[in-house]
Every structure is written in C-alpha cells, then in structure tokens.
Amino acid sequence: MQNPHVIFGVLIAMGAVWTLGWAIIMARSGRSIPVEQLERSENRIRVGLLGGLAAIAIVVFVLSLPRLPFAGSRRAELGPPQVTITATAVQWGWIISRDRLTAGIPIEFDVTSRDVNHDFAIYDPDGRLLTQVQAMPGYINRLVYRFSAPGTYTVRCLEYCGVGHHMMTARLTVARQE
C-alpha cells in the first residue's frame, strides 16, 4: 500500500478501466434512440455504482486506519521509540541532533522549524521516499520510524521554503543492529 510503484499500477489499472468504459460510450454515440429507453438502466447503474464505490471507499478507509503515520499509530505498530532525535529546519539546512542511527529499532524524530514551513522527508539509498512530516514554526511534530536496512539515507525538504529549497538536504547513516 505504501510502494509508490504499486500505487502507480493501481492508478493505471483503474484509469484503463475508466478509459475503456468512456471509449465504449463514445464509440456507441451514434444511432440515436430515445433517452427514455435509457433512464431505467441509468438509474440501475447509478445505484449499483453508488453501492459498489461506497463499499470500496469504506474498505479502503478501514484498511488505512492501522497504517496511519501519526505518532500514536506508529508507536502502537512499532513499539515505544528507543531513541529520540531532534531535527530543526532552517532556511536552507537541517540541524539534526544525531545522524548515525541503528536499523531495526523505533526512532522518534522531533521535528520543528526556526523560520518557515519545511518538510522532513526521508529517502532510502535507492531514492525512494519512505516517510515524511512537516516542520512547522511553533510546533514539534513527532515522526516515529524504524529503518529496516542499513545504508545512507537522504533527508530532503518537501515543503517549498524559498530559493534554496532544492538544496536543503541532510544525510542519515543507518548501521546494522549489533
């Protein structure tokens, strides 16, 4: 559910079904028939779609609940954090209290900002976005995360924060658990 390539695949699959349905209607737009003949089937389709789509939405919503990224949910999923690290954003860099971390243990990042809104986003060594939280002035947002593998991870700012936004990166070195 949190693999962007899988999400893209879901989009393409749903988009293909929609495009096929749309194309069929467009292709069958000729040979006029009275609209009254369609009204009963239109209503049946509407009711069916409403029921079907609402059911899908409810299922997806319920499935999303145990996977919420907020601190309480992550603590419940991963256990209490064993390390707490502060990450403070300033235009245009990160002040991180510790950048050598250990894989396999829950870590809490207390994220804030000294100036404007930023976003503390962790990318894996292959360049894939893993998790993120906003860094806001006046607030401490707590991000709980467990690195599954050792490596060099990159922190990027994902909230536009001015002309140095694209340069605002930091490194986290994650070592194997002893």
Partner 1 sequence: MTSPHRRAPLADAAGLTPLLAPDRSNSSVLRVALVYLVVGLGSFLLMGLLGLLMRLDQGGILVIAPVWFYRVMTLHGAGMVASILLAVTGGLAAAVSATTRLSARVLWIALVIYFIGTSFVILATLVGGFGGGWTVLYPLPTHGLVWTLDAALAMYAGYLFIALGLLLYCVHMLHALARAHGGFVRLFALRFLFSLGRDTRDPLPRPPELIAGVISIDGIAAATAGMLYLVPIFLHAAGVMSVDALYAKNTVLLFGHTMANLSIYVGAGLVYAALPAFTGRPWRTTWAVVCAWDLIIILMLTNYSHHLYADFAQPVGLQLLAEIASYAVALPSFIVTIIGALTLIYRSGIRWTAAPMLLALGIWGWVFGGLGAVLDATIPVNQVLHNTMWVPAHFHTYYLLGAVAFAWGYLFYMVHELSDRRAARASSIAVWLYGIGGAGFILMFFVAGANSVPRRYAVHLTQWQMYARVAVPFVVVLAFGLAWLSWDLARRFLSAWRGTEGPALQS
Question: 141: closest CA among 47, 69, 63?
Answer: 69
For residue 14, the minimal CB distance to partner 1 (Å) is 5
Q: By CB under 8 A, is residue 86 in contact with partner 1? A: no
Q: By CB under 8 A, is residue 162 in contact with partner 1? A: yes
Phi, psi angle pair for 67, to nearest 5°: -110, 20
Q: By CB under 8 A, is residue 139 in contact with partner 1? A: yes
Q: By CB under 8 A, is residue 11 in contact with partner 1? A: yes
- Can you tell me the distance from the alpha carbon of 80 to that of 146, in angstroms, rounded to the nearest whole number? 11
The residue from 161, 170, 172, 174 that contacts partner 1 (CB under 8 A) is 161
For residue 178, the minimal CB distance to partner 1 (Å) is 29
Q: Which stretch binds partner 1 (CB under 8 A): 79-87, 100-108, 124-132, 170-178?
A: 124-132
Burial class (CB in 10 A: 0-12, 13-18, 19+), 135: buried
Contact assessment for residue 75 and residue 81, using Cβ atoms and an 8 Å cutoff: yes
Q: By CB under 8 A, is residue 62 in contact with partner 1? A: no
Q: By CB under 8 A, is residue 38 in contact with partner 1? A: yes
Q: By CB under 8 A, is residue 100 in contact with partner 1? A: no
For residue 79, the minimal CB distance to partner 1 (Å) is 19
Strand order in the sheet with 83-90: 93-96, 83-90, 106-113, 141-146
